Amino acid sequence: MPKIVNSWNDFDPLKHAIVGRADFSMIPPEEPATSEKVPVDSEMRGMWGPRPTETVEKANEQLDNYVAVLEKHGVKVDRPTPLQWNQHIQTPDFRNDSMMTAMPPRDILLTIGNEIMASANSFRCRYFEYLAYWPLMNEYFENDPEFKWSQAPRPRLTDKSYKHNYYDEKISLEDRLIRTANKDFVTTEVEPMWDAADVMRVGKDLFIQHGLTTNRKAMEWFKRYYPDLRVHSVNFPGDPYPIHIDATFVPLRPGLIINNPHRPLPVEQRAIFEANDWQIVEAAKPAHDGPPPLCYSSVWLSMNCLVLDHKTVVVEESEVYQAEQMDKLGMNVIPVPFRDAYPFGGGLHCATADVYREGGMEDYFP
Ligand code: DAV
C-alpha cells in the first residue's frame, strides 16, 4: 500500500494537501480566548451569528479556484466535511452557543512525518472543529499502514484556562505591546494549549510561537512527545495580537525566511539561524491598508503564502509587492485571488494543511 502522509517542513515539493471549506461558517460568540483576539475597533466586536450567505459563497468560490490551481500544479487536494457550525456545544466543563467553521485547517492539523495530529486549541468554539477532518483521517488510516492518526491531549477549557478580565476595552496598543513583550497572554498554564498554525516545522526543528493561542506548557508537552525533535519557543514582541506564526515568520526554502518587519525575531532568538547561514529577510509591505470586512486577521496575510517547492510559491493576486519580492528572491510566483476567503480565518497558507511533501527529516541546524 502506498505512503499517503509525509511532511517535515513547509517548502519541500507539495504533492497532497487539504483545503478548507467555508460552508455554514459562524462568527462565534465572545468567550475568554476570542475577545482578546478581536481588535477593539473591529466591526465584529459584540456580534455573533452566521456569516452572511453571500460572503460564504464568495469565499467558497475562491477556495474552489485555489483547489483548481493547486491541482493544475500537480497537488492532489482533499476537502473537509463541514458540520452545522451553528449548533451549541457542551462538555462537562463548559458550554458555548456555537462552533466556528472548517477554516483554516492549518490551525487544527499538524503534520509531522507520517503523523497528523489534531491540536489543542484554546478557543471553546473550535473544540469540535477537528470532526470536519475525521473522514479524511479515517481514509488515510485505512489506506496508509504507516499513517499515525493522533490527537493532542484535549484541554478542558474551564474558567481556569484563562485570565479573567485580562481583556479590557480601554487597553491601548502600547499596553498590548508591553503585555506581548512580558509574555503575558490571556491563557493560563493549567494545561497545554496550542494551535497548529503556531508551529513552524523545519525538519528536526520546531519553532513554536508563544502567544495568545499557544502557551508555555504546550512547549513542554511538545518536547516530551517528540523527543527526537528540537523545540524552540519563539516570541515576536512587535505583535499586539500574537496568533499564528504564518503571517510573521515564513520559510521559503532551506536557508531563507521572510520575517514581518513589524514583528522581528528578537536578536537572541536569531542566533540559531545565523549560526547555520540562514538568511532572514524583511517581508515586503502589504498592498492593502486594512483587512476586508468581518476579518480577524491583519493586512500581513500578504506574506501568508503557500510554497509548492523550493522555486514555486502561491501568493495572493493583489499582493503585488510581496509577489515582486518573491520574484527577486528567485521564486516563480503563482497569483491566486483570495481576499474573499480572508475573513474565514486567514490566507493561502492558513487555508491548507499538508498531507504529503517529498523529503525527510533533515537536520538544518546541526
Ligand atoms: O497577522 O493577523 C494571521 C494568521 C492567521 N492564521 C495576523 C495573523
Comparing CA positions, the residue from 319, 287, 293 lying closest to residue 305 is 319
pLDDT at residue 172, rounded to an integer? 84
CB 208 within 8 A of CB 199: yes
Residue 350 catalytic? yes
Distance 366 CA to ligand 1 centre (A): 30
CB crowding 150-171: b at 16 or more within 10 Å, else e: eebeebebeeebbeeebbeeee
Determine whether 230 is exposed, middle or buried from the number of CB atoms within 10 Å of its CB (0-12, 13-18, 19+).
middle
pLDDT at site 123: 95
Does any domain span residue 104? Answer: yes
* Pairing mode of beta strands 249-253, 230-234: unpaired
161 lies in a domain? no
Q: Which residues 6+ apart lie within 8 Å of 51 measured at CB?
A: 22, 25, 26, 27, 294, 343, 344
Report how far ligand 1's centroid is from the alpha carbon of 239 (Å).
10
Whether the CB of 259 sits within 6 Å of ligand 1: no
CB 352 less than 6 A from any atom of ligand 1: no
Q: Give 68 Cα–ligand 1 centroid separation in angstroms.
A: 24
Residue 283 lies in a domain: yes
**Three-class SS of residue 320?**
helix
> How many angstroms separate the alpha carbon of residue 145 from the centre of ligand 1?
35
What stretch of H or E contains 252? strand 249-253
83, containing H or E segment: none
List 115's β-bridge partners, or say none.
112, 148
Q: CA distances (Å), 6 to each of 183, 333, 353, in order?
A: 33, 25, 12
Q: Distance of CA 327 to CAs 72, 167, 195, 314, 319, Å?
A: 21, 41, 31, 11, 12
Q: Does the annotation count 295 as an active-site position?
A: no
Interatomic CA distance for residues 350 and 298, integer angstroms: 13
Q: Does a structural domain hold residue 363?
A: no
**296 CA: nearest ligand 1 atom:** 2
How far CA 306 is from CA of 50, 148, 174, in Å, comes to 28, 24, 32
Residue 344 Cβ inside 6 Å of ligand 1? The answer reads no
Measured in whole angstroms, how far is the alpha carbon of residue 285 from the centre of its chain?
20
* Contact in structure between 6 and 148 (CB atoms under 8 Å): no
Beta bridge partners of 149: 116
Rounded Cα distance between 204 and 112, Å, is 10
Pairing of strands 26-27, 49-50: antiparallel
Is residue 2 in some structural domain?
Answer: no
Which residue in 244, 309, 349, 354 is the catalytic one? 244
In a domain, 268, yes or no: yes
Q: Which residue's C-alpha cell is 451549541?
A: 88
Q: Which residues contact 249 (CB under 8 A, 6 or more apart)?
A: 200, 207, 209, 234, 236, 257, 258, 259, 260, 263, 265
Number of domains into which the chain is organized: 1
Ligand 1 lined by 203 (C-beta under 6 Å): no
Domain that holds residue 115: 14-154+175-357
Domain of 109: which CATH number? 3.75.10.10
Distance of CA 225 to the CA centre of its chain: 20
* Amino acid 84: pLDDT: 97
- Which residue out of 12, 107, 144, 195 is catalytically annotated? 195
How far apart CA 227 and CA 14 sit, in angstroms, is: 26
- Residue 89 forms part of a structural domain: yes
Residues of the chain with pLDDT under 50: none
Answer whether residue 264 is part of any domain: yes
- 103 Cβ below 6 A of ligand 1: no
Q: Is any atom of ligand 1 closer than 6 Å to the C-beta of 161? A: no
Q: Is the CB of 300 under 6 A from ligand 1?
A: yes
Q: What is the pLDDT of residue 71?
A: 98
Between the CA of 297 and the centroid of ligand 1 the distance, in Å, is 5
Looking at the whole model, is its pTM more than 0.80? yes
* 191 Cβ contact list (under 8 Å, min separation 6): 120, 153, 155, 156, 161, 217
What pLDDT sits at residue 42?
67
Tell me, rounded to whole angstroms, the distance of Cα 341 from its chain centroid: 14
**146 Cα–ligand 1 center, Å:** 33
Has 246 been annotated as catalytic?
Answer: no
Per-state percent for the chain, helix, strand, coil, to nearest 5: 30, 25, 50
Q: Return the pLDDT at 1.
A: 66
